[in-house]
Amino acid sequence: MNPIAAPIRERYLQTLDTIARAAHSVGRAPESVRLVVVTKTQPLEVVRAAMEAGAITLGENYPEEGVMKIQSLSQFSAVEWHMIGHVQSRKAQLVAENFNFLHSLDSLKLATRLDRFCAQAGRILPVLLEFNVGGEESKFGWQADDESRWSALLAQVSAVIALPNVQVRGLMTMPPLGSTADSSRPFFQKLKRLQAYFSSQFPQTNFSELSMGTSGDYQTAVQEGATLVRIGTAIVGARQYNVEV
Ligand SMILES: *Cc1c(COP(=O)(O)O)cnc(C)c1O
């Protein structure tokens, strides 16, 4: 048996257990939280070990790397592949044709291109709108740190909603770099308020998904309402840059 499989399986199961306990601590059903196992930079054998442990939702950050894995592991047809990293417009076609879900939609330009490629491929892509609620200049996502200016986002969000082949399902955020489990909490709470704001402004659209929380702060995120947590290092270990996948 593959020697990396046992520790990955153990950490995967431990993580599910921790999610369940965090959910129970605030009266939520553990099934309302989906675990996305983030396998960016990890070789195929690691991804395979995660699948064998039971992972059914995998997260990738780089379109080419993700597509290579999707094609190599196509026999695992029950698995969903989620794109969670920033997508350059010129990579829209790769994402539209290969991924099951996009967490990181961060511009109308990208949305428009995805919509066109989805139409050509006869697919509908579920997406989350990524917001930067932490106020850092360098981060991706629509700027949404200043709550008094949220109405300025409505025109763009409305334009994304109008696209027929990308289907808005909710919101995503990454807290500022260096955040801790505690310092992330206000950002998760702010994303939840933004979700409520959009839900009231666009009652016909389903904003029910909240993608927030990574290895360092997913318990906090679950307590604050995450429906998708994106966890890499806590399950598959440190990232393996420069690896031949
Ligand atoms: C890499 C990454 C993660 C996973 O981070 P870990 O700290 O390894 O759990 C989650 N979300 C995004 C957007 C990422 O790029």
Are 104 and 62 in contact, with CB atoms under 8 Å apart?
Answer: no
Nearest-CA residue for atom 11 of ligand 1: 230
Distance 146 CA to ligand 1 centre (A): 25
Task: State the pairing for strand pair 34-38/142-143.
Answer: unpaired
Domain assignments of the chain as residue spans, ordered by start: 5-236
Distance 203 CA to ligand 1 centre (A): 31
- Cα distances (angstroms) measured from residue 239 to each of 234, 242, 244: 11, 10, 13
Confidence of residue 242 (pLDDT cuts 50, 70, 90): low
Confidence of residue 141 (pLDDT cuts 50, 70, 90): very high
Nearest-CA residue for atom 15 of ligand 1: 85
Between CA 232 and CA 39 the distance in angstroms is 6
Taking the CA of residue 215 as reference, the ligand 1 atom at the shortest distance is 9
Nearest-CA residue for atom 10 of ligand 1: 230
For the CA atoms of 175, 177, 180, 181, the dihedral, rounded to the nearest 10 degrees, stands at 30
Residue in the structure block whose two tokens are 């420069």: 242
Confidence of residue 240 (pLDDT cuts 50, 70, 90): confident
Taking the CA of residue 38 as reference, the ligand 1 atom at the shortest distance is 4
Which pLDDT value is given to residue 1? 63
* DSSP code at position 55: -
The closest alpha carbon to 72, from 103, 101, 39, belongs to 39
Q: Which residues contact 164 (CB under 8 A, 6 or more apart)?
A: 115, 119
* DSSP code at position 148: G
Mutation choice for ligand 1 from 34, 38, 87, CB with most ligand atoms inside 8 A: 38
CATH 3.10.180.10 is the classification of domain 5-236: no
What are the tens digits of pLDDT across the range 4-40? 899 999 999 999 999 999 999 999 999 999 999 999 9
Exposure b/e, 172-190, CB count within 10 A at least 16 = b: bbbbbeebeeeebbebbeb
Are 27 and 75 in contact, with CB atoms under 8 Å apart?
Answer: no
> Pocket residues for ligand 1 (CB within 6 Å)?
38, 40, 61, 84-85, 174, 214-216, 230-234
Does the reported pTM lie above 0.85? Answer: yes
Distance 212 CA to ligand 1 centre (A): 10
Distance 61 CA to ligand 1 centre (A): 9
Say yes or no to pLDDT of 137 above 80.
no
Query: What's the mean pLDDT when you consider all of the chain?
Result: 95
